[in-house]
Amino acid sequence: MSKLQNLLALPDVSDIQKEVFINEQLGAFIIKPVTEQQLQTYRLRSRQGKSDTIDASRLNCMVIENHVVDPDLRNADFLAEAKCGTASDFINRKFTAGITARIVNEIMEASDLTDVSEDMEKAKN
């Protein structure tokens, strides 16, 4: 198979899903990778005011709420029962910093971005 045929055989990123084990209490989540375009959009939306500084917590919430497929953290009934207005509210109230980092790292790994902190530094520069 030629290199071009290999490229044609790649699945669409939007079709890729991966089951990842988070911990004993939360079990497994189904996640999907993030594209470069999506990550750039999240970076832009997570800037603090007019500065180039990225709010890492806001960026992490955007990645989690848009790339965790199951459980659906944006489900309106779920959010109402959890007494949270948004998925970000839920993430900030219920997930420890370690759980948030683990989920984001799994999503970045599924996206072939294995070092989130390195990617964050690139975004700042």
Give dist(CA 116, CA 58) in Å, integer: 14
Query: Can you point out the beta strands (E) in the chain?
Result: 18-23, 27-31, 68-70
Residue 1 placed within a domain: no
Residue 4 placed within a domain: no
Give dist(CA 48, CA 11) in Å, integer: 35
Chain segment 94-113, per-residue pLDDT in tens? 999 999 999 999 999 988 88
- Which structural domain, as residue segments, surrounds residue 100? 12-124
Residue 66's CATH number? 3.30.2220.30
Chain segment 63-99, per-residue pLDDT in tens? 999 999 999 999 999 999 999 999 999 999 999 999 9
Question: Residue 123: is its pLDDT beyond 70?
Answer: no
> What number of CA atoms fall less than 13 Å from residue 98's CA on the CB side?
3
